[in-house]
Structure 1
Amino acid sequence: MELTVYFFFNLSLLIVLLFSGFLWAEKSKKSWSYRAIFIIYLIISLTLCFIFTYQIEGINVLFGLRKIPFIVGSLYMGLGPFLAAFIMLVRGFLGIDYGFWSTVLYYGGFAILFWRISPWFLKRSPKQRILFSVGVTFLFSFVQTFTLGIWHLPHSSFKVLFIFLVIQPIGVGIISYIIEEILMTIQLRQRTMKSKRLEAVERMGAAISHEIRNPLTVAIGFVQLLQNNAISKENHTQYLSIIKNELKSAERVIQEYLNFSNPEIKSMEPLVVQEELKQVVQSLKPLAKQNSVKIVSIFSQGEEIEGDKQKFHQCLVNIMKNAIEAMPNGGTLTVETESTPTTLGILIKDTGSGMTLEQVNRLGEPYYSTKGSKGTGLGIMVVYSIVRAMNGTIHVESEIGQGTTFKFTFPSLSPSFLEPVETKETEKELVGSR
């Protein structure tokens, strides 16, 4: 293989390896992954550069592209002394000769220099860092061509000089550019995430203040009316009842927010799903009756999951209540369970107005509600938080005019699964027209 093609192939391996490391870091999603994977990349790159070496005729020097990962790692990571020690160690295994001592001299000296200027280097702009890296590589290579006697070699001197003075600076420039793009991508993502968090906090604060201010304003108004000694006893009692209800409404909003912000379940217990679902369905019968909704329950018997009873009830109530309210002109609410050897699924289906794909994808976002100004989105946010805390998942399917299906999946405690049995008494919950 021609000498220049040989080293271009080595350079292409370094570039492909860098992209592979970046994709691996993206997949791992851990804060330490980028630095750790880049260090691994540098070590593997140096090893490859030692594999792709060339013996220059006339002098006892093994020539390779190890200068590329050395300079990049020294400037961008401040790892000059570590990388130099690794290069000296590997070069020592290949023989203690003139080439080894020249390696110690060059890489030892430049390692200390790069280690000192790395903090200054990182403060420069991306364009300045790339140009500086290329310039330093060219200077390093130019010095070697004279001190090692490469300039005066009669055989293949042009090719060797081309590799020293052109390929290595170009390689450093390409890899530096890729690193700058990666850094820019990471910074952009971090700014975007921070912006989204701030936006979520702002919208959450607006939602909480709005929902609490309304009942408090009403309560304050009726307190002012109570200060009038001329009101009747009947109105006095009525006003107190209204104040109590409004304060309970404010308390409910605060409790929903606390459940969302702190969904941790401290005490887990086995829950018989069939019994828990029956209790929730029973509590929602008056609301279903008011909306002319028929409730159909199809439960597997004896299935158990692990969780918090009160919070589990809260999840189901929030979803079923929303489903009933989505059918103001009547319909059917189906509550069903389905089992596998390891999981239990709870399906809550309605025949209401349904949602678009965009609405489904936004469920669980702060202050997002399909009810418009009438909702805060806190209820569904609480549902998502509690289900995650119980090691469960939520899948939603919906179609405009066809209804919505929420599927909750939890790890099952039951050793086997049984056939679902339709609950007869709930099948009778058909209410007359409004």
Structure 2
Amino acid sequence: MELTIHFFFNLSLIMVLLFVGVLWSEKLKSLRSIQITAAIIFILSLVICLLFTYPLHESYFLDLRLIPIIIGGLYMGLGPILAAIAIGLRAIYGLDSGFLFTAFYFLFIALLCFELSPWFLKKSSRKRILLSVIITFLLSLPEAITLILMDLFYPVFDVWFAYAIIQPLGVGMIAYFIEEIDKSILLRQHVIKAKRLEAVEQMGAAISHEIRNPLTAAIGFVQLLQDHTLSEEKRTQYLSILKNELQSAERVIQDYLTFSKPQINVHQPFNIHDELKHVVQLLEPTANRNSVQIVEDFSMWGTIEGDPQKFHQCMVNIMKNAIEAMPNGGILTVETKTTSSKVMIRIQDTGSGMSREQIDRLGEPYYSTKGDKGTGLGLMVVYSIARAMKGTIHVESEPGAGTTFELTFRTIPSTLENPETKEASEIGL
């Protein structure tokens, strides 16, 4: 039973290696990367089998090298490559009669699997598993018969069980494992494709809805402007409204372009203190109209690298959403915190808050906490810009308890003047 125990040990090592490979492949996105990982797993399996080989005789070493050669040959067409590696590894133990037998035996199996691979891959999942077991069983017989005929006083049952049961069983288990992984990958690709199509449909609906409204209004005012009896005062008023409607449509298009192409083309150091001050000043009229008090604390400042305009757009979208979440008034707190390597911007409102489900869906296409009044483009832009600037966003909220956005960016060493010192010097302190 010693050979049987050793083969089971070999098989367990191969299965562990395969499991590690699967965990690693979960992080990979391209099919090519997954295939390269699988090839490396098969090669490592050969190395492990030879490291823990069973020396039956000074010229004969027994292990499960056949399993990676058959699986790799049938599923990936790697039979000749794996066989060449297996033969090269076997040569380390000596160029004896056992080496010659191994070389011819593995080359025959590799070429056979290579030829069978296209036909094999056309079969259904169940048939592939069954065929891999049958092929392994048939290819294991010559080696088992050879060992028995050599009359090395080794138990016949042990030899037959090791080669006729363990090897086909191992191949069947690994084949089943591969088929399940393949199904999982196909399912995941199908889900991703479906989500992309859904996102495109939702995005199209959002853009169409948001652009149609101002354009419809603009067309109406253009028609009114065609009236030659219109007074100059009314004409000026209509032109102003027309301009505002067209600017509204332009903002929607700009948000979409920012979301679809969030790459940061401008890389320059800028002080978040100055940008946040500017955003607060810009939004003060909107806050006053909604009876919202803005409380700011920018005593901790930092310098980050990126596009100041897109950073400005990101902050405007978050603060504007926060103000709109307090229709009956409230307090909007904007503060900064810094560490040696990071700067955190904290934006907190006292609005209606959000549920966990709403938080999880923030940044999704066409998802808005405003219901029919919004498209979700604003927060999509926020998340896109933050990712492009290598920042992170953390949101905390509870229904009725307000919402807190925390944005974290990596700081850089700065030669810019401290804004607090600059302000003090300007007033002569």
The normalised TM-score by structure 2 is: 0.91
Task: State the shift of 1:31 in Å.
Answer: 5.1
How many Å separate the matches in 2 of 1:218 and 1:138?
A: 77
Tell me which residue corresponds to 1:262: 261
Task: State the shift of 1:334 in Å.
Answer: 0.7
Matched ranges for 1:228-247 at <5 A: 228-247=227-246
The code of the aligned residue for 1:290 comes to: R
Task: State the shift of 1:197 in Å.
Answer: 1.0
Verify the 8 A CA contact 1:284 1:321 in the aligned structure 2: yes
What secondary structure, in the 3-state scheme, does the structure 2 residue paired with 1:329 have? coil
Matched ranges for 1:84-99 at <5 A: 84-99=83-98
How many Å separate the matches in 1 of 2:99 and 2:236?
A: 97
Task: State the shift of 1:51 in Å.
Answer: 3.1
Tell me which residue corresponds to 1:430: none
Matched ranges for 1:294-309 at <5 A: 294-300=293-299, 303-309=302-308
Q: 1:169-213 CA distances to partner (integer Å, 9 max, x unpaired)?
A: 011000110111111111111111111111111110110011111
Structure possessing the higher relative contact order (Cα contacts under 8 Å, 6 or more residues apart): 1
How many Å separate the matches in 2 of 1:230 and 1:420?
A: 56
Task: State the shift of 1:414 in Å.
Answer: 4.6
Tell me which residue corresponds to 1:2: 2
Tell me which residue corresponds to 2:120: 121
Q: 1:90-131 CA distances to partner (integer Å, 9 max, x unpaired)?
A: 222222222222112211112112112212222222111111
Tell me which residue corresponds to 1:341: 340
Task: State the shift of 1:301 in Å.
Answer: 5.2
What secondary structure, in the 3-state scheme, does the structure 1 residue paired with 2:298 have? strand
Tell me which residue corresponds to 2:387: 388
Matched ranges for 1:187-206 at <5 A: 187-206=186-205
CA 1:218–1:134: 2 relative to 1, 3 Å:
same
How many Å separate the matches in 2 of 1:104 and 1:414?
A: 62
The code of the aligned residue for 1:25 comes to: S
The normalised TM-score by structure 1 is: 0.90
The question of 1:106 aligning with 2:105 is answered yes
Tell me which residue corresponds to 1:429: none
Tell me which residue corresponds to 2:427: none
Verify the 8 A CA contact 2:362 2:379 in the aligned structure 1: yes
What secondary structure, in the 3-state scheme, does the structure 2 residue paired with 1:402 have? coil
Task: State the shift of 1:302 in Å.
Answer: 5.0
Identify the range of structure 1 (153-162 vs 196-205) with the bigger mean alpha-carbon deviation: 153-162
Task: State the shift of 1:339 in Å.
Answer: 0.8
How many Å separate the matches in 1 of 2:269 and 2:116?
A: 61
Verify the 8 A CA contact 1:335 1:348 in the aligned structure 2: yes
Tell me which residue corresponds to 1:411: 410
Tell me which residue corresponds to 1:48: 48
Task: State the shift of 1:229 in Å.
Answer: 4.2
Tell me which residue corresponds to 1:38: 38
Q: 1:218-239 CA distances to partner (integer Å, 9 max, x unpaired)?
A: 2222333334445444443333
The code of the aligned residue for 2:385 comes to: I
Q: 1:242-273 CA distances to partner (integer Å, 9 max, x unpaired)?
A: 32222111111101111111112212222122
Q: Which runs of 5+ in 1 are unaligned?
A: 422-434
The count of corresponding residues between Structure 1 and Structure 2 is 421
Verify the 8 A CA contact 2:337 2:344 in the aligned structure 1: yes
Tell me which residue corresponds to 2:290: 291
Task: State the shift of 1:40 in Å.
Answer: 2.1
How many Å separate the matches in 1 of 2:286 and 2:103?
A: 83
Verify the 8 A CA contact 1:300 1:339 in the aligned structure 2: no
CA 1:321–1:140: 2 relative to 1, 3 Å:
same
Q: 1:130-168 CA distances to partner (integer Å, 9 max, x unpaired)?
A: 111111101101233345554977640111011111111
Verify the 8 A CA contact 2:273 2:419 in the aligned structure 1: no
How many Å separate the matches in 1 of 2:173 and 2:133?
A: 9
How many Å separate the matches in 2 of 1:3 and 1:145?
A: 12
Task: State the shift of 1:29 in Å.
Answer: 5.2
CA 1:17–1:363: 2 relative to 1, 3 Å:
same
Cα RMSD, aligned residues only: 2.5
Tell me which residue corresponds to 1:177: 176
What secondary structure, in the 3-state scheme, does the structure 1 residue paired with 2:26 have? helix
Identify the range of structure 1 (140-149 vs 255-264) with the bigger mean alpha-carbon deviation: 140-149
